[in-house]
Structure 1
Amino acid sequence: MRFTHLFILLYIFILFGCKQEKLQLIKIEGKQIKITNTIAANSEIESFTTPFREHIQKDLDSVLAYSADTYSKSDGKYNTAIGNLMADAVFSEASPIFKSKTGHNIDMVLLNYGGIRSILSKGNVTKRTAFKIMPFENSIVVVALKGTQIDSLTYYLSKSKTAHPISKLKLSLNKDYKIIEAKINGKNIEKEKTYYVATNDYLYNGGDNMTFFKTNDSLYVLNYKIRNALIDNFKKADTISPVRDDRFTQK
């Protein structure tokens, strides 16, 4: 009995004696290391990366077309030449891809005003131009929407009062910003008809509060970036001269 008590006491002593003390972080220190031209380049890394860098720069500076003027997204209230160019490029380049995948035609395009990140300058148009206009990795998706969801889309545009790029949609507002005309490919929007709307993955996921895309029949992912659509479109043009038109106006 005496030994039993002794073993119990020994066990308790070992158990608590081996328990590690909890450590707490009480302070973090650091310093800023500025990267400047005073830091010598690593010659081995430079010799390895230089050919790749030169190849990329040459590719980006390859001339694709010529821009007749300078175009900015601030050139118009409801539609701009550069916005029309981008939306029309997505329509023309994505349409055959979508047709081959589904047998359907794209009915219209809606992109976002904020997705235009640079002007299109007068002069040579290169791949670098496309990267400046669309630096993001946004891809084209096509969403199947009923006419009732298209009504939500046009209502959104009427309330935003912003030159979001559109193609094949014609929208007219009165002086009170009420919709007086809304047509797709020159025809009135039918409530129960399914329309195939090309947009980008950012907007489909609710970007710019375009939540109407989530109420849809189907989603088609084309694995085709908007920037690549621009590049492909530029390659087909000799001279680029987009214009503002009557696709989105206020009477």
Structure 2
Amino acid sequence: MKTRYLISGLALLSIISCKTPLNIAKVQPEKNISISKDLPEDQIFKSIIEPYKMELEGKMNTKISHTSVDLTKQGDDSNLGNLLADYTFEGADDWAKKNGIPGGVDGAVINIGGIRTTIAAGDIMTRQIYEVMPFENEVMIMKMKGSDMQGLFDYYLKTLKNNPVSHIVIETDKDKIVNQLINGKPIDPAKTYYIATSDYLALGGDNMDYFKKGEMIATGIKLRDLFLEKFIANPEIKVPTDSRLNFKNKKNNKTDE
């Protein structure tokens, strides 16, 4: 038995000793060479996508409305901000009345940072709405207790930020709120309010934590789709002229978007 183990061990040792040692080749980093510029264009692929590309470009460059003034996002009451806040209100209000909220919505709040660019005076093309609102944000309706609505006004007093509103009035002077209205009336603590906004803000975006106290109602409406629909329905844009946000004696460290 011992002899058999000895023979097996010698055989294994012999096999191991006959193996060639593993040599690792020297590895050196080399400069990356791009070959994409030398690749020929795939004509078959190009011919397939070209009709779709032309169709898309045609839709993006289709005139949907017209504005006689620049639509900007500057100032407490920016005309573009107020316009889009009104469109948000109108879309949510219509949806609410058709879906079990007979009184509709009471107001709307959107964020100025979500409006990514402005619209110059002249014809308005489809692509400009995509540039203004490139995100896939959805319209939400927040069901709020009247006793929790003070948080909205306190937010504006603290930030003095020109986040657009609709059917809401907020006036401040230094460190005090001098006027706060929803649909033209003071807050009723016993009332239930329905405020239209985006899913981003509904979840507390832009530090709007007061919305977290409410109940979120999803509409399934994309903000950009709603804005497109509204611009198409209004071939000549009439900008809102009412005063909504008025921050008197605004501190220098408080700036607009």
Q: TM-score range by the shorter chain?
A: 0.7 to 0.9
Question: 2:208 aligns to what?
Answer: 210
Question: Aligned partners of 2:35, 2:70: CA distance in 1, in Å?
Answer: 36
Question: 1:193 aligns to what?
Answer: 191
Q: Give the number of the structure whose alpha-carbon radius of gyration is greater.
A: 2
Gaps of 5+ in 1: 7-26
Q: 1:235 aligns with which of 214, 232, 237?
A: 232
Q: Secondary structure at the match of 2:210?
A: helix
Gaps of 5+ in 2: 6-26, 249-257
Q: Secondary structure at the match of 1:159?
A: helix
Q: Secondary structure at the match of 2:113?
A: helix
- Whether 1:118 and 2:117 are equivalent positions in the alignment is yes
Question: Aligned partners of 2:64, 2:35: CA distance in 1, in Å?
Answer: 36
Q: CA deviation at 1:112?
A: 0.5
Question: Aligned partners of 1:195, 1:30: CA distance in 2, in Å?
Answer: 65
Question: 1:61 aligns to what?
Answer: 61
What letter matches 2:204 in structure 1?
G
Name the CA shift for 1:198/1:43 in 2 (closer, same or farther; >3 Å).
same
Question: Aligned partners of 1:177, 1:36: CA distance in 2, in Å?
Answer: 60
**TM-score with structure 1 setting the length:** 0.82
What letter matches 1:120 in structure 2?
I
Once the two structures are superposed, the pairs formed by residues 81-92 of structure 1 within 5 Å of their partners are 81-92=79-90
Question: Aligned partners of 2:200, 2:33: CA distance in 1, in Å?
Answer: 35
Most deviating of 33-42 and 187-196: 33-42
Question: Aligned partners of 2:152, 2:34: CA distance in 1, in Å?
Answer: 48
Kindly indicate whether the alpha-carbon contact (under 8 Å) linking 2:202 and 2:216 is maintained by their aligned counterparts in 1. no
Most deviating of 106-115 and 45-54: 45-54
What letter matches 2:142 in structure 1?
V
Once the two structures are superposed, the pairs formed by residues 91-106 of structure 1 within 5 Å of their partners are 91-104=89-102, 105-106=104-105
Question: Aligned partners of 2:55, 2:138: CA distance in 1, in Å?
Answer: 25
Question: Aligned partners of 2:30, 2:46: CA distance in 1, in Å?
Answer: 29
- Whether 1:246 and 2:246 are equivalent positions in the alignment is no
Name the CA shift for 1:35/1:144 in 2 (closer, same or farther; >3 Å).
farther
Question: Aligned partners of 2:92, 2:178: CA distance in 1, in Å?
Answer: 30
Question: 2:12 aligns to what?
Answer: none
- Whether 1:166 and 2:189 are equivalent positions in the alignment is no
Name the CA shift for 1:50/1:108 in 2 (closer, same or farther; >3 Å).
same
| Aligned residues with identical type, % of pairs | 29
Q: Secondary structure at the match of 1:96?
A: helix
Kindly indicate whether the alpha-carbon contact (under 8 Å) linking 2:92 and 2:141 is maintained by their aligned counterparts in 1. no
Q: Secondary structure at the match of 1:223?
A: strand
**TM-score with structure 2 setting the length:** 0.80
